[in-house]
Structure 1
Amino acid sequence: MSNFTKNLHRGFVRMDQFLGRYLHHAETWNVAVLLFGGTALLLALTLEYVFIQEPCNLCLTQRYFMFFGTLIAMLGLVIDPRLGILPVLSIFSYIGGTVFAFRQLWLQDNPHLAVECTESLAFMLEYGGPMKEILKAFMEGSTDCAEPSMIPKLSLLALVILITMSVFQLLYGPRSKY
C-alpha cells in the first residue's frame, strides 16, 4: 500500500470519527435545518426582489410553510432541541409545503385547470377581501401558478431536504447528550 493511500485512508477514518461525533446530536441537525431553511428563504427573496420575479399564490404558500418550519427549528434551539414534538411540527409544516409544490407542478402540467376568474391576491389583501376568498386563492393558485418555472421544483427539493434533516433530528433528538 502506497504512502498516499495510507494517508487517504487515515483522513477518511478521522473524518468518519468527526462526523460520527457531531452528527448524532439533535442540536447539530437543528442548526443544519435552520441554516438550510434560512438559505432557501433568502434565495426565494433574492429571486423576488433582485431578479424581479413576482411569486404566485402557491409560491407564497410554499414559502410560508418553509418559514414556519424553519421558525420552529429556531424555537427548538431556544427551548430544547431534544424535544421530539418540535421536529414533528417542522416535518408537518414542510409536508404542507410539499403538497402545494406538487399542486403547482400539477398545474404546470395541466394549465387548463388553473382558476382564471379570480381577483389578484394583492388586490384582495389591500382592499380587505373576505378571508375565505383569500385562503382559497392561497390554496388553489391562479393562472400565474400554471406558467412553467423551475421555482416549484427547487422549492420541492429544498422541502424534501428539510424533511430529511428534521427526521434525522427526530431520530437523534432524545438520545443526544454532550
Structure 2
Amino acid sequence: MNIVKFNPRLWFFLGFTGCCALLAMGAFMQFVEELEPCPLCISQRLAILSTGIIFLFAGIHNRAHKVYAVIGAISALIGASISTRHVWLQHLPPDQVPECSPGLEYVFQHFPLADTIKLMLTGTGECAQIEGIFLGLTIPAWTLIAFLMLAVFSLATIWLKAHCEQTDV
C-alpha cells in the first residue's frame, strides 16, 4: 500500500521551482555580487529558462508525461553541453584561450545574427576567466551538475510513473 502516490504534475512543478532558483542565483551573482556574465553564462541561463518552461508546461498540461520528460531532459542536456564547453575553456592553458570579444551589447548591435549565436555558444576569452570557486568547483561546473540533475530528474518521472502504476495493480 502506497502512503504517498507519485504525482508527475507536482514533480514537474518542483523541477520548475528548481530552475527558478537557479535563475535567481544567477541574477544574485550578477546584480548583487556584480559578476558580469560571459556569453556562455547567458547561454546557460537561457537553457535553464527553457528547461524550466518545459517543466512548467508539463505541470500545467498534465498529459503526455513521457514526451515532456524527454523534451525536458534534452533541454537540460543541451545546457549541460554548453556548461561542458565552459568548463573546458576554463581549463585551457592561457596560451590556448580564445581572444576576448567586444561587449555583448556591441555584438548584438553590430554583428550578424549567425555570428552572434556562434559567439554565444562557443564562448570567448572572458569565458575562460574563473570568477569564483565553491567547494573546489567553478560556477560553470556547478551549473553542469545542475543540468545533469535536471535531466535525471526529468527522466525519473517516466520510471516513477511506471513503478507506481505497477505497485497499484
- TM-score, length-scaled by structure 1: 0.79
SS in 2 for 1:84: helix
Alpha-carbon distance in 1 for matches of 2:162, 2:110 = 45
Structure 1 portions without partners, runs of 5+: 1-16
Once the two structures are TM-superposed, the CA of residue 25 in structure 1 deviates from its matched residue by 2.4
1:3 aligns with none
* RMSD, matched Cα: 2.2
Q: Is 1:130–2:112 an aligned residue pair? A: yes
Alignment of 1:50-65 (within 5 A): 50-65=32-47
Give deviations 1:85-120, integer Å, cap 9, x for gaps: 111111111101111111111111104333216333
Q: Is 1:165–2:147 an aligned residue pair? A: no
1:119 to 96, 102, 116: 102
Alpha-carbon distance in 1 for matches of 2:163, 2:58 = 16
Mapped contact 2:83–2:141 kept (Cα < 8 A) = yes
What percentage of residue pairs aligned between the two structures are identical? 21
Decide whether aligned partners of structure 1 residues 120 and 158 sit closer, same or farther in structure 2, where only a CA change above 3 A counts.
same
- TM-score, length-scaled by structure 2: 0.83
- Shifted more, 76-85 versus 145-154: the winner is 76-85
2:141 aligns with 153
Mapped contact 1:114–1:141 kept (Cα < 8 A) = no
SS in 2 for 1:67: helix
Decide whether aligned partners of structure 1 residues 58 and 112 sit closer, same or farther in structure 2, where only a CA change above 3 A counts.
farther
Which consecutive aligned stretches of 4+ in structure 1 deviate over 4 angstroms post-superposition? 173-177
Count of residues in correspondence between the two structures: 158
Structure 2 portions without partners, runs of 5+: 132-137
